Chains A and B, each alone.
Chain A
């Protein structure tokens, strides 16, 4: 790893704080990931990527930049990756799942704010994230109030382009969003110095759809009992999807799926067949936030799907590939993104309907709703989820927790008791 020191220094990282982050990761990764039983071979690549999370991939981004390419960072799955790629840029997710920069962040943010917001602010202020420091532009959105206002503050440290994501999904909201997507396309052209063409956009739509399709293939395989891959490993792949090279990643996910196909045929799984199956829903779990899934899968259940933005919401629907003209293509792009069932929308009935369907499709025994502490959209919407699931007689456990480990013991008891109920 040490051979990256030069690169990190040149990115202006705070080397001391960054070291602390790098030291925190491997033991956690070992305990949470490498101790899992029956892991498929194909995960080697993803283990490697995590190992090189601040190394090789950052080096690739630097090489891309040296060749005149641009890097654009995003905090939400609403930012259309295909537009960035079509202009020769690389789009990466900047969501952060660890509370290392919290003290710095609290200089500018209230204490009682969602840990995800605190985390990305802390990463920027403390200069510990090489992805953040590699960005030529970062893109915010007007999803939840906390993020919306935090971007004003973040803008003091790095220019933030804010996209207005609507709060409803009516015709006028779709028009507004389409306008935002068009503006974004123009801005990306300016930033990269490359014009979007129908060829490049069509190609990048196909490529990003390919990534989504591979992830869907993986998701489909998890419908089997026994599940051929753990929820933790699936989550990891979904987290990596947000910053890895699109085509390489797609290939590796497909390779893994080939292996899993065989396992399914021979009835091999990570846990014995008949293990209680749960679906996790709620706020996104940004890398390396594996807290709740780890507790679930070490308490006798297997996670078969994540109704999360680091999960199904990220890859469930595709951009239609039927358009030939630029305008129509951008319309297709905009339409795809409004299909995401985020709790910032009102009403968000699509999420409840989908959840009930997922429980049936994946043969799940129960649902665990995880909201990050102080996340109003999801914590409040948990009530809507509860109402619908109750009507359908689907067991639900609601959890609100942050990035700290203080409540791990209590959470474990609650999760275990919930799984006892399912069994």
Chain B
């Protein structure tokens, strides 16, 4: 059995492979003690554990055998679920990555967002709270009901929040503002994809891929199909598990 663990800023994903199949997968909140939480997920003896995500190096100094970056992990995971994928978009809690794969499924190029949280899961979370939505799902569903016409001009989380609040004060409909915020994220993401030279098929992974509004708007904007795996938050952990299985001969 080979294990992959993806220690992200919001969630920890864990995937175990046995004879090439997923034997177990789990997703928990990162919490305040990521390393301890991660370690507790390893309940058995594995031949090899590969860690990825921002906590990968800490994991390596404690229990993991090797590390790979989130870039490689998402590429491996996405290519496993959707063979032939050429572009991977991953929007997680803190960052956005776009990855280009070659015909063999090997990373050919990648880009990450700048140091701030603009356009990431964090951005959407802050906006959902500012508009009084209970969570990301509710926020995304509401946005799907919204009608266009409003534009959010700021991508900085702090400025966009005050922009949204002042739109509310001016009487704009909540779902319209929600839609505008989703559109802003999509604009920015589409820009990154175009800069790197988007080649379909496109796979969308990470927590934000659960947001139906983002997926719909993105497909419209890009004019291409957006493939979302059943558990988009586990793609990184799957990739790490695949790396663990591959490197051991």
Instruction: Note all chain B residues with C-beta closer than 8 A to A410.
Output: 95, 112, 115
B107 on the interface (CB 8 Å rule)? yes
Q: Contact partner of A417 among B72, B95, B106, CB < 8 A?
A: B72
A303 CA to B110 CA in the complex, in Å? 21
Instruction: Note all chain B residues with C-beta closer than 8 A to A406.
Output: 115
Within the complex, what minimum Cβ distance (angstroms) separates A143 from chain B?
Answer: 27
Given A410-B95, A413-B54, CB of A420 within 8 Å of CB of B115: no
B37 on the interface (CB 8 Å rule)? no
Instruction: Note all chain A residues with C-beta closer than 8 A to B70.
Output: 413, 417
Within the complex, what minimum Cβ distance (angstroms) separates B68 from chain A?
Answer: 7
Closest to B106 in A: A421
A126 CA to B119 CA in the complex, in Å? 39
Q: Give the one of B106, B108, B112 with max A CB within 10 A.
A: B112
In the complex, the answer to whether B71 meets A417 with C-beta atoms within 8 Å is yes
In the complex, the answer to whether B69 meets A416 with C-beta atoms within 8 Å is yes
A110 on the interface (CB 8 Å rule)? no
Within the complex, what minimum Cβ distance (angstroms) separates B92 from chain A?
Answer: 12
| Cβ contacts A399-423/B at 8 Å (1 or 0 each) | 0000000110110011011001100
A interface, size bucket: 10 to 19
B interface, size bucket: 10 to 19
A121 CA to B205 CA in the complex, in Å? 46
Q: Contact partner of A420 among B68, B95, B112, CB < 8 A?
A: B68
Instruction: Note all chain B residues with C-beta closer than 8 A to A413.
Output: 54, 69-71, 112
A417 CA to B111 CA in the complex, in Å? 10
Within the complex, what minimum Cβ distance (angstroms) separates B106 from chain A?
Answer: 8
A253 CA to B68 CA in the complex, in Å? 38
Q: Give the one of B69, B106, B108, B115 with max A CB within 10 A.
A: B69
Q: Give the one of A407, A410, A413 with max B CB within 10 A.
A: A413
Instruction: Note all chain A residues with C-beta closer than 8 A to B69.
Output: 413, 416-417, 420
Would you call the interface of chain A mostly helix, strand, loop, or mixed?
helix
In the complex, the answer to whether B112 meets A414 with C-beta atoms within 8 Å is yes
A194 CA to B106 CA in the complex, in Å? 64
A341 CA to B107 CA in the complex, in Å? 32
In the complex, the answer to whether A421 meets B107 with C-beta atoms within 8 Å is yes
Instruction: Give residues of chain A (324-374) contacting chain B, Cβ–Cβ below 8 Å.
Output: none
Within the complex, what minimum Cβ distance (angstroms) separates A373 from chain B?
Answer: 11
A204 CA to B84 CA in the complex, in Å? 63
Closest to A411 in B: B115
Closest to A398 in B: B111
In the complex, the answer to whether A407 meets B112 with C-beta atoms within 8 Å is no
A421 CA to B106 CA in the complex, in Å? 8
Instruction: Note all chain B residues with C-beta closer than 8 A to A416.
Output: 69
Closest to B107 in A: A421
Within the complex, what minimum Cβ distance (angstroms) separates A339 from chain B?
Answer: 34
A29 CA to B32 CA in the complex, in Å? 32
A414 CA to B108 CA in the complex, in Å? 13
Instruction: Note all chain B residues with C-beta closer than 8 A to A409.
Output: 54
A413 CA to B106 CA in the complex, in Å? 17
Q: Give the one of A407, A410, A417, A420 with max B CB within 10 A.
A: A417
Closest to B67 in A: A416
| Cβ contacts B54-87/A at 8 Å (1 or 0 each) | 1000000000000011111000000000000000
Given A406-B115, A410-B95, A410-B115, CB of A417 within 8 Å of CB of B54: no
A87 CA to B70 CA in the complex, in Å? 57
Within the complex, what minimum Cβ distance (angstroms) separates A141 from chain B?
Answer: 32
A413 CA to B72 CA in the complex, in Å? 10
| Cβ contacts A269-303/B at 8 Å (1 or 0 each) | 00000000000000000000000000000000000
A400 CA to B125 CA in the complex, in Å? 28
A292 CA to B164 CA in the complex, in Å? 38
In the complex, the answer to whether B107 meets A407 with C-beta atoms within 8 Å is no
A407 CA to B68 CA in the complex, in Å? 19
| Cβ contacts B97-141/A at 8 Å (1 or 0 each) | 000000000111010100100000000000000000000000000
A410 CA to B54 CA in the complex, in Å? 9
Which 7 A-B residue pairings sit nearest by Cβ, starting from the closest?
A417-B71, A417-B69, A407-B115, A416-B69, A420-B72, A421-B107, A413-B69
14 residue pairs from A and B, CB less than 8 Å apart: A410-B115, A413-B54, A413-B71, A413-B112, A416-B69, A417-B71, A420-B68, A420-B69, A420-B71, A420-B72, A421-B106, A421-B107, A421-B108, A421-B110
Extra A-B contacts (9), CB below 8 Å, given A410-B112, A414-B110, A421-B108: A407-B115, A409-B54, A413-B54, A417-B107, A420-B68, A420-B71, A420-B72, A421-B106, A421-B110
User: A residues touching B (Cβ–Cβ < 8 Å)?
Assistant: 406-407, 409-410, 413-414, 416-417, 420-421
